[in-house]
Amino acid sequence: MEQQQNNRGSFSNLGFILAAAGSSIGLGNLWKFPYLTGQNGGGVFVLVYLIIVATIGFTCMLGETAIGKYTKLNPLGAYRKLSKKFAFVGALGIIVPFLIVTYYNIIGGWVLKYIADFIMGKLGVMVGDPAGYFGAFVSSAFSPIFWTLVFVLINFIIIQAGVSEGIEKMSKILMPALFVLLIIVVIRSVTLPGAAAGLEFYLKPDFSKLTMATVSAALGQVFFSLSLGMGAMVAYGSYLPDATNIEKTSTIIPIMDSGAALLAGFAIFPACAAFSVDVGAGPSLIFQTLPTVFNSMPGGVIWAIVFFFLVLFAAITSATSLIECPVSWLIDSKGMKRRTATILVCIVAFLCAIPESLSLGELSGLTFPTFNGAMGIFDFVGYIAENVLMPAAGFFMCIVIGYVWGIDNFEKAVTNNGQFPFRTKAFVTIMIKYVAPIAIFIIWLQSIGIWGLIFK
Ligand code: TRP
């Protein structure tokens, strides 16, 4: 064990921030944040989201990283080391990323399909009826599954070839490029005629739209977007040298991540207003608005291809981080070879994606009852992963740190035995012991529908 710990490679500070940002900035920011904002009342959702990032998000990011840095183990081993009873929290870190990857691959496939269409000169056709174009595509049986497979294969090749390091190097260039291009799209979008109404929707909180459902959606999205609640940050933290100021990294990463999400919103909502796209359109939102924005730019096709390529890159860095969770468990605990484990995870994930994708068309009649109403397979898997299991993992992490491992030990890990100051100690202590677990629990009751039954 000791041996194994010492043999762990280690990250430089910048390397860690890039890897963690690569994992966290993905389709969650660019695709999901805008459509959730649209569905949940606009500005008020953004406000609740940012408050949760600064409180629960920051706390959980620091907590997970500290556990990883201290134990230098994979999530399952890490939680087992802190408390045998709570080893199951680490186990969630294998199951949940797997669940997420099954539908993440589908969205990755959509991005690929749009890139292919831009290249084939279909931008003009697309913008004629963006909603119809998207709807016809996702509800068809074959095409979305084909593109999902292509996305899976790309990820497989990257993980298999062990070029993750190369990807990290590329992310030094491509991540900033994504930000630059986002800003260009934002500038185009906010200068569209009629943009003001969209900005108002996005920025001006309408408190009459604030419900428990808004808060619950925001919490799930914070966990999803920051890659929290399933050990991804435990895994990254385990590669950190002891002398890393993780209070700082846990501040920088959520700021970058929220920055990307906020920019995506600035690109989308003015365009919704300008081209009368329904803000509540759901998963199709960015696929409807962005092509229309690009179409209104000189050289639009080129912008569209480059932008969607960068979205694809962000999606790949997140997807590979998700796949890595079950793969590294199969290697460490089941003694599998990396190649076998990767093939197995990719194949099973792809097979699961088939009914999920079909549930957006052919199989839409097949639904699962939940306290929150019946859901198709695609929505149901996302709901279980993001709204039920991830917050539960966050809740138990707070309990483990606050009451089992103990704040003193946690502080030692954060400050590296006093080397760094712990400026937010009082805040984080109260968050971890009381506020975060209680808040997460209440919001979780809402997510699974029990709240609604009690307070009818
Ligand atoms: N955060 C990523 C996104 O926003 C998704 C993701 C990647 C993730 N790795 C994760 C979510 C690990 C939870 C845990 O797209």
Residues whose CB falls within 8 Å of the CB of residue 63, separated by 6 or more in sequence, listed in order: 397, 398, 401, 410, 432
Residue 2 pLDDT: 36
CA 301/CA 119 separation, integer angstroms: 8
CB 389 within 8 A of CB 81: no
CB 391 within 8 A of CB 223: yes
318 lines ligand 1 (CB under 6 A): yes
CB 27 within 8 A of CB 178: no
Residue 132 pLDDT: 95
31 lines ligand 1 (CB under 6 A): no
Which own/partner pairs from 87-92 qualify as long-range (CB within 8 Å, at least 24 positions apart)?
88/396, 89/231, 89/393, 89/396, 89/397, 89/400, 90/231, 90/234, 92/229, 92/230, 92/231, 92/389, 92/392, 92/393
In angstroms, the Cα distances linking 229 to 56, 94, 151, 212, 324 are 11, 11, 25, 21, 15
224 lines ligand 1 (CB under 6 A): yes
What ranges in 120-225 are assigned the alpha helix state H? 123-128, 130-139, 143-160, 164-190, 195-203, 212-225
- pLDDT means over runs of 10, the chain (456 residues): 48 82 93 97 97 96 94 89 91 91 97 97 94 95 97 91 68 88 94 95 96 91 92 86 92 96 96 94 94 91 93 92 87 88 95 95 86 87 91 93 95 94 96 95 87 77
Q: Which helix (H) or strand (E) holds 375?
A: strand 375-376
- Length of the chain as a residue count: 456
Residue 4 pLDDT: 43
Could you write out the three-class secondary structure of 299-322? Answer: CHHHHHHHHHHHHHHHHHHHHHHH
Pick from 318, 325, 327 the residue to mutate for probing ligand 1's pocket: most ligand atoms within 8 Å of its CB: 318
63 lines ligand 1 (CB under 6 A): no
CB 221 within 8 A of CB 390: no
28 lines ligand 1 (CB under 6 A): yes
Q: Among residues 382, 402, 383, 385, which one has the least CA distance to residue 393? A: 385
3-class secondary structure, 43 = helix
The DSSP letter of residue 241 is -
CA 24/CA 263 separation, integer angstroms: 15
| CA–centroid distance, residue 228 to ligand 1 (Å) | 8
26 lines ligand 1 (CB under 6 A): yes
Residue 31's CB: how many other CB atoms inside 10 A?
24
Residue 141 pLDDT: 92
Residue 3 pLDDT: 38
| CA–centroid distance, residue 28 to ligand 1 (Å) | 7
The DSSP letter of residue 454 is H
| CA–centroid distance, residue 204 to ligand 1 (Å) | 28
